[in-house]
């Protein structure tokens, strides 16, 4: 086992805004309704994309960039950046943060991302392999790097605080959350937009097929964005913000080697384990030893409804916040096959209790 850590409880860090773009639709209300219904929203992959039949994916079909910006402007962004730009704006509005109302140097963006603008990267590299250097389109290059989404969100909303992108397989969004918490604790910002953003493309699925992953970790992939507005509690109270949830302790294990799984789980879920609702993300629903330790309380598995991606944790954490009653205790668990594993404590959003 490597990299195990118990981070301090962030009792005075709260969530004041949410945004979601997913297979459920655009906005928090479609996500809330999807969680209430509990049915999978994954759809069959269209014929012609894969040789293998019976595969599903979670496309955000309801998302139209033209609903939020002029088409000419939208063309300069990759799809993943469009998700991030639009979701960031929705999250800020949900938190009651109007443009210019707070110091932009004190508002940051820390997002988890898996593949980023992979469709733009495909087009950029196809030009090179087809026509050499002359075939490369320079305007595509800025959007082929994974940090383009967080960067574009900051630029578009004129946010000048910390800007970081994390990539840690199925725990990319959780790693972003941890970094966002540290930025707030160290007084580098008053507000941080955090969560995850990713896209899914036919090329990705064909790559998963070539690697033999469509029947494993590459099955049921999806796209979208889940963004939470994190804020120091004192700052939120001063501006009279609505509090949706509070973040408690964060426990991580970098890798669980063979023979050390039990020890790692003991670090993640020390006894007594108290929770009223458990949310599972990444490959956590597949970890038998972890599931055996869970208390007999309701479980939330957003991946079964929305699909999963390397940054699906943003939507999964937003789902937990939406589902957690006021004053209730939530436990959020996420895992990647080779690590890391995360356990995050949450508190239902009653301002008098946080």
Looking up residue 314, the CATH number of its domain turns out to be 3.40.47.10
Inside any domain, residue 4: no
pLDDT for 282 = 93
Same domain, 281 and 180: no
Please identify which residue in the block is written with the tokens 């707070």: 102
Same domain, 20 and 117: yes
Inside any domain, residue 9: no
pLDDT digits (tens, 9 = 90+) for 289-344: 889 889 899 999 999 999 989 889 999 999 999 999 998 999 999 998 878 999 99
User: How large a percentage of the chain has pLDDT more than 70?
Assistant: 90
pLDDT for 252 = 92
Same domain, 155 and 267: no
pLDDT digits (tens, 9 = 90+) for 257-285: 777 777 888 888 887 788 999 999 999 99
Same domain, 156 and 274: no
Same domain, 280 and 234: no
Grouping H, G, I as helix, E, B as strand and the rest as coil, residue 169 is coil
Same domain, 176 and 311: no
pLDDT for 290 = 87
Grouping H, G, I as helix, E, B as strand and the rest as coil, residue 146 is coil
- Per the structure, how many domains does the chain have? 2
Inside any domain, residue 163: yes
Last residue of a domain, one of 179, 210, 238: 238
Going by C-alpha positions, the residue among 343, 178, 336 that lies closest to residue 255 is 336
Same domain, 167 and 50: yes
pLDDT for 125 = 62
CA 258, 261, 267, 268 torsion: positive or negative?
Answer: positive
Same domain, 152 and 54: yes
Question: Which residues lie below 8 Å from residue 209, measured CB to CB, with a gap of 6+?
Answer: 50, 51, 52, 218
pLDDT for 352 = 53
Inside any domain, residue 205: yes
Same domain, 249 and 223: no
What is the average pLDDT score of the chain?
A: 89
Task: Report how far residue 217's alpha carbon sits from residue 268's, in angstroms, rounded to the nearest whole number.
Answer: 23
State the Cα torsion 150-154-160-166 to the nearest 10°. Answer: -10
pLDDT for 130 = 75
pLDDT for 64 = 96
* Residue ranges of the chain whose pLDDT lies below 50: 1, 351, 353-354
Inside any domain, residue 104: yes
Last residue of a domain, one of 238, 265, 291: 238
pLDDT for 353 = 41
Tell me the whole-structure pTM to 2 decimals: 0.91
- The domain of 327 spans 245-353
Going by C-alpha positions, the residue among 202, 199, 56 that lies closest to residue 115 is 199
Last residue of a domain, one of 188, 207, 238: 238
């Amino acid at each position: 086992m490597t990299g195990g850590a118990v981070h301090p409880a962030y009792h005075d860090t709260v969530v004041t805004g949410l945004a979601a773009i997913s297979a459920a639709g655009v906005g928090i209300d479609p996500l809330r309704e999807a969680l209430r219904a509990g049915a999978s929203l994954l759809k069959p992959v269209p014929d012609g994309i894969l040789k293998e039949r019976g595969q599903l994916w979670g496309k955000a079909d309801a998302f139209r960039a033209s609903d939020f910006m002029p088409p000419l402007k939208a063309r300069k962004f990759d799809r993943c950046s469009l998700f991030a730009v639009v979701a960031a704006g929705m999250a800020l509005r949900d938190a009651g943060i109007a443009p210019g109302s707070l110091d932009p140097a004190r508002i940051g963006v820390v997002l988890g991302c898996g593949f980023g603008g992979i469709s733009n990267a495909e087009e950029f590299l196809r030009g090179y392999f087809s026509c050499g250097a002359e075939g490369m389109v320079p305007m595509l290059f800025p959007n082929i790097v994974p940090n383009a989404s967080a960067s574009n969100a900051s630029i578009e909303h004129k946010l000048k605080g910390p800007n970081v992108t994390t990539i840690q397989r199925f725990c990319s969004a959780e790693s972003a959350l941890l970094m966002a918490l540290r930025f707030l604790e160290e007084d580098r910002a008053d507000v941080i937009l955090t969560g995850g953003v990713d896209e899914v493309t036919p090329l990705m699925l064909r790559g998963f097929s070539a690697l033999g992953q469509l029947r494993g970790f590459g099955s049921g992939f999806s796209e979208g964005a889940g963004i939470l507005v994190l804020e120091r509690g004192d700052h939120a109270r001063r501006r009279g913000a609505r509090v949706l949830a509070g973040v408690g302790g964060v426990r991580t294990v970098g890798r669980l080697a063979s023979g050390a799984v039990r020890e790692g789980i003991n670090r993640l879920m020390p006894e007594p384990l108290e929770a009223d609702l458990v949310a599972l993300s990444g490959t956590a629903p597949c970890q038998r030893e972890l599931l055996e330790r869970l208390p007999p309380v309701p479980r939330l598995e957003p991946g079964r409804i929305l699909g999963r991606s390397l940054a699906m944790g943003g939507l999964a954490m937003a789902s937990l916040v939406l589902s957690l009653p006021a004053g209730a205790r939530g436990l959020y668990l996420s895992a990647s096959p080779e690590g890391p594993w995360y356990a995050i404590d949450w508190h239902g959003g009653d301002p008098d209790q946080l």
